[in-house]
Amino acid sequence: MTRQFQVSGAPHVAPRTSVALVMLQVLIALAPGVAAHAWYFGPGILIQILLATVFALLFESLMLRLRNRPLKPFINDFSAVVTAVLFALCIPPQAPWWISCIGMLFAIVFAKHLYGGLGQNVFNPAMVAYVVVLISFPQVMTAWLPPASLAENSLGLMDSLVSILGGQPGTGWDAISRATPLDLLKNGIEAGQVMPDILRSPVFGVLGGLGWEWVAIWFGVGGLFLLYRRVISWHVPVSVIGSVLLFSLPFWLLNPEGNPMPLQHVFSGAILLAAFFIATDPVSGCVSNTGRLVFGAGVGIITLVIRRWGGYPDGVAFAILLMNMAAPLIDRYTRPRMYGE
C-alpha cells in the first residue's frame, strides 16, 4: 500500500509566533500607558487612537489594493494599528481630526507603502507622521492640556469629541491649554531661571511632569512585559535610557541649577515610550545586538542635544528618524563574528 503525503520544506514544526502576534503583544503592552494617559489627561487620547486606527486601516487597504497585494494577511498583521496608536500617543489629545488623517496619510502611504510596505520602510512611520504634522501645524501640535487635576474645567468625553471633530481648535481650548513641563523647562533655562524656580510650577511632579511621569512609568511597565515576552531585546531600551542618564549626568553635576536631573530627563517627554516602543521598531532599527546598542545610544544623545540646544522642547522623534538613516550603516559595521572565523 502506498500513500501520498504532503511535501514541504523543513522544519516540520508548527511556528511559535507570527507578525500579528508580535504586533498584538506590542498593543497589549501599550495599554497601561494609554490608560494612564486617559486617567490624567482625559478621554481624548482614546478618541485619537480610534481615529488614527480608522484612518490607518483605510489608507492601508487603499495602498494594498493599489499595489495589488492581498488585503487579509496585511490588515490582520496589526502593524498599521501599532503605527496609529504610537502616533496618537504623540499628538495632543484634543487635536482636530484632520491631524490624524494627515498623519496617517504620511505614515501609511508615504513612509510605509511607497518604500515597499511592511518590512521595507527605512523610517519609523509613526515618527515620520508626527514630525510632518509637528512642522506643518506647530500651533495645534503644541497646544497640550494640563493634567485633569490642574485644569479648572477638565474636558469630558463629549467635550473632547466636539473639540476633535470640530475640525479646529475650539475657542475654549486656547484658554485651557498650557505649556508642557518640557516647554517650561526649556523656556525657563533659556530665560536664565534656576532649576528650583522652574520646578516650582504646578505642572511638575516628582520626577517629570505631573501626570506625565506616571504615563511614562506605565509605558515602562508595558516595556518590561515586552522584554519578558522576548518581543524586544534589552539592548535598545537599556542603551537609550543609559545614554540619557550618562550624557546628562556631567551637565547636572557641573551645574545642577541650570540643568535638569538625569532621572528627570528619563521620565519626562517621550523617552520611555521611545525606549521601549519606538526605537525598538525592528524594521527601521538595527539588527545586531551591538548595532542596537549604538542605535539606542544615538537616540538618547540626539534627543538630549535637541532638548538642550535645539529649537524643540523634545527631540525623540527627530533623534529616531536620524538614527533610522544611520541604521543600515551601523548594521554594516557591527556584523557579528561568524562561527569559526
Residues that bind another protein (CB under 8 A): 1-19, 21-22, 69-70, 73-74, 77, 79, 116-120, 233, 282-283, 285, 287-288, 335-341
**Residue 92, preceding bond cis, omega within 30 degrees?**
no
Looking up cell 509613526 gives 126
3 vs 200 by CB, closer to another protein: 3
In the bound complex, what is the minimum distance in angstroms from residue 339's beta carbon to another protein? 4
Using alpha carbons, select from 281, 293, 304 the residue that is nearest to residue 236.
293
Neighbours of 166 (CB within 10 A): 14
Cα maximum dimension of the chain: 90
In the bound complex, what is the minimum distance in angstroms from residue 66's beta carbon to another protein? 15
In the bound complex, what is the minimum distance in angstroms from residue 74's beta carbon to another protein? 8
Neighbours of 147 (CB within 10 A): 21
Distance separating alpha carbons of residues 142 and 184, to the nearest angstrom: 12
73 vs 156 by CB, closer to another protein: 73
Cell, residue 20: 500579528
70 vs 192 by CB, closer to another protein: 70
145 vs 278 by CB, closer to another protein: 278
The answer to whether 100 and 59 have CB atoms below 8 angstroms apart is no
In the bound complex, what is the minimum distance in angstroms from residue 25's beta carbon to another protein? 11
7 vs 158 by CB, closer to another protein: 7
In the bound complex, what is the minimum distance in angstroms from residue 285's beta carbon to another protein? 8
In the bound complex, what is the minimum distance in angstroms from residue 255's beta carbon to another protein? 39
Distance separating alpha carbons of residues 110 and 112, to the nearest angstrom: 6
202 vs 328 by CB, closer to another protein: 328
Distance separating alpha carbons of residues 13 and 239, to the nearest angstrom: 35
